[in-house]
A and B are shown apart, each in its own frame.
Chain A
């Protein structure tokens, strides 16, 4: 089958010789992929920052498709069902899943206890191939995959697998109260969605910080918020203090993660020298911008080795730090409801549709932020077959 194939940092290609996936467990299903997105967190893999990313891996944890085969114990899905597949691989029966922490399942990843299972996210997240392919193996098919309701547009459906619930959970973990000032660091797809969702919790003011003008312009219009280029602010923390009457934001959201720009020291030690688990500039700023007693919500990806952040300020300011991978299955019913109510419009963030055969160009386009790229969807040639 045709599949994306990782060859090393900044190198991927579309290969036709990848063997088709097979049922390897009675709870598996095989899904023919109809749409697959490139996520901002795929770029961390693409840039070689995630340990145990093996050459030959197929990325892709945001995908929809059609069920073509099911394992012996699968009861809820049948061949021909159109499904959206949450990025978390989750068993549904371990104590974590039973408590709706589907991003932290204990039965989906042998390689690391600190990470749940995820599709196409290296052996650090279970060693599963992802959905940037014509076909994909989906374990625990009775748990995660959700049949796409007939009134949901396929482009919206694919964004419900990660970016929408992740943005929503970022706002949810912020514990936003009516009237709160919420600062979102990062105007990528998740940051855009977090800014949009902050209003649903009653935010009084939403501010987005980034340095890419086209993304700032997009988020201003899409999420009806303020958006600032940190390069024009001098010290962004000082700016945020001044603009909140020298009090600090009520809630700060880190939607950037380990490849943040804005600090030479963080970039050098985190991204270039790999002396820490990525550049923690956004988290550093979030901690320093939030008010005393405020909440910092983190949904972005960092490496497992640790980061330089001002933990002393977390203590001295009494900050609540909340973080997790999105629990997609928990949030899906509400996200579908919000979509139907018109509160969110996920497909509006899609800027590029690229045939899977051109996956190398698609990755470079997204990574280098060319052609005002915000969200790229890959379409396999067999999608409509």
Chain B
């Protein structure tokens, strides 16, 4: 591969160097330091949103933030797992791993809820197979043929084994 060095004439690049700042090395003052850090949480907080649903909060803070989202409060088995997870700090795998597990359990709960609400989830559509059919048809057909062939081979092997 040839190494291309750029044209040193930067006038071709509109705006070249407009934000160059000789003091910007290595720690450009991104933070507009006010000293408020040393007051810690001693500041006039915004009004507190009322929690009308269960909202889990990290045990690394004393309570809820002034505002928060209220959709999808913890429920079911996944909710139990999330409550368990929030007993541990963000520093602990015992916090994150149960949350990941809860997310997977929640997927199954979502399918059950759909059925309960009279919705039959169209999983192929949810996976965006419309776009795959439109833009990647050959690969989709190939995948479908391979899946079918492997399934048939497996089925025939299992039947043979049973005999």
Instruction: Give the interface of A toward B (CB within 8 A).
Output: 7-13, 24-28, 48, 51-58, 73, 89, 91, 93-95, 98-101, 106-114, 117, 123, 126-129, 139-140, 172-173, 175-178, 199-202, 204-206, 224-226, 228, 232-233, 239, 242-243, 274, 295, 303-305, 320, 322, 324, 327, 334, 338, 341-344, 358, 360-365, 367-368, 370-371
10 A-B pairs with the lowest CB-CB distances in the bound complex, closest first: A364-B128, A127-B69, A343-B15, A8-B107, A202-B20, A95-B36, A55-B110, A110-B57, A128-B69, A361-B131
Q: How many A-B residue pairs have CB under 8 A?
A: 264
User: Which B5-50 residues sit within 8 Å CB-CB of chain A?
Assistant: 5-6, 8, 10, 12-22, 24-28, 30-34, 36-37, 39-41, 43-47, 49-50
> A213: shortest Cβ distance to chain B, in Å?
14
Residues of B within 8 A of A117 (CB): 65, 67
Q: Which residue of A lies closest to B28 (CB)?
A: A175
Contact of B39 with A95 in the complex, beta carbons under 8 Å: yes
Residues of A within 8 A of B1 (CB): 228, 232-233, 239
Quick check: is B136 within 8 A (CB to CB) of the other chain?
yes
Contact of B46 with A175 in the complex, beta carbons under 8 Å: no
> A62: shortest Cβ distance to chain B, in Å?
17
Q: Which residue of B lies closest to A95 (CB)?
A: B36
Contact of A107 with B67 in the complex, beta carbons under 8 Å: yes
Contact of B58 with A55 in the complex, beta carbons under 8 Å: no
Contact of B18 with A107 in the complex, beta carbons under 8 Å: no
Contacts A55-B109, A73-B47, A175-B28; is A200 near B90 (CB within 8 Å)?
no
Contacts A7-B121, A7-B126, A55-B107; is A111 near B28 (CB within 8 Å)?
no
Contact of A95 with B90 in the complex, beta carbons under 8 Å: no
Determine the distance from Cα of A129 to Cα of B69 in the docked complex, in whole angstroms: 7
> B49: shortest Cβ distance to chain A, in Å?
4
Contact of A93 with B45 in the complex, beta carbons under 8 Å: yes
> A88: shortest Cβ distance to chain B, in Å?
13
Contact with A along B114-136 (1 / 0, CB 8 A): 00000001110111111110111
B-side interface residues, number (CB < 8 Å): 85
Residues of B within 8 A of A54 (CB): 72, 78, 103, 106
Determine the distance from Cα of A51 to Cα of B103 in the docked complex, in whole angstroms: 7
Q: Which residue of A lies closest to B7 (CB)?
A: A224
> B72: shortest Cβ distance to chain A, in Å?
4
> B100: shortest Cβ distance to chain A, in Å?
5
Contact with A along B39-80 (1 / 0, CB 8 A): 111011111011000011110110111111111100000100
Contact of A56 with B41 in the complex, beta carbons under 8 Å: no
Quick check: is B3 within 8 A (CB to CB) of the other chain?
yes
Contact of B46 with A140 in the complex, beta carbons under 8 Å: yes
- Among A108, A206, A242, A360: residue with most chain B CB under 10 A: A360
Residues of B within 8 A of A327 (CB): 30
Dominant SS among interface residues on chain B:
loop
Residues of B within 8 A of A26 (CB): 47
Residues of A within 8 A of B65 (CB): 106-110, 117, 126
Residues of B within 8 A of A243 (CB): 3
Contact of A51 with B69 in the complex, beta carbons under 8 Å: no
Contact of B128 with A127 in the complex, beta carbons under 8 Å: no
Q: Which residue of B lies closest to A46 (CB)?
A: B128
> B25: shortest Cβ distance to chain A, in Å?
4
Determine the distance from Cα of A192 to Cα of B130 in the docked complex, in whole angstroms: 28
Residues of A within 8 A of B103 (CB): 48, 51-54
Residues of A within 8 A of B93 (CB): 305
Q: Which residue of B lies closest to A322 (CB)?
A: B27
Known: A7-B110, A24-B70, A89-B67. 10 other contacts (CB 8 A): A11-B123, A48-B103, A98-B36, A107-B65, A109-B68, A172-B19, A176-B24, A334-B19, A343-B15, A364-B129
Q: Which residue of A lies closest to B121 (CB)?
A: A7
Contact of B15 with A200 in the complex, beta carbons under 8 Å: yes
Determine the distance from Cα of A11 to Cα of B70 in the docked complex, in whole angstroms: 22
Residues of A within 8 A of B82 (CB): 52
- In-complex Cβ contact of A98 among B34, B125, B126, B131 (8 A): B34
Determine the distance from Cα of A274 to Cα of B25 in the docked complex, in whole angstroms: 36
Pairs A–B under 8 Å by Cβ, sample size 6: A7-B110, A13-B125, A25-B49, A98-B34, A111-B57, A123-B72
Determine the distance from Cα of A112 to Cα of B149 in the docked complex, in whole angstroms: 47
- In-complex Cβ contact of A111 among B25, B34, B43, B58 (8 A): B58
Contacts A107-B66, A110-B65; is A25 near B107 (CB within 8 Å)?
no
Contact of A360 with B26 in the complex, beta carbons under 8 Å: no
> A7: shortest Cβ distance to chain B, in Å?
5
Contact of B131 with A365 in the complex, beta carbons under 8 Å: yes
Residues of B within 8 A of A322 (CB): 26-27
Contact of A365 with B128 in the complex, beta carbons under 8 Å: yes
Contact of A110 with B56 in the complex, beta carbons under 8 Å: yes
Residues of A within 8 A of B71 (CB): 56-58, 127-129
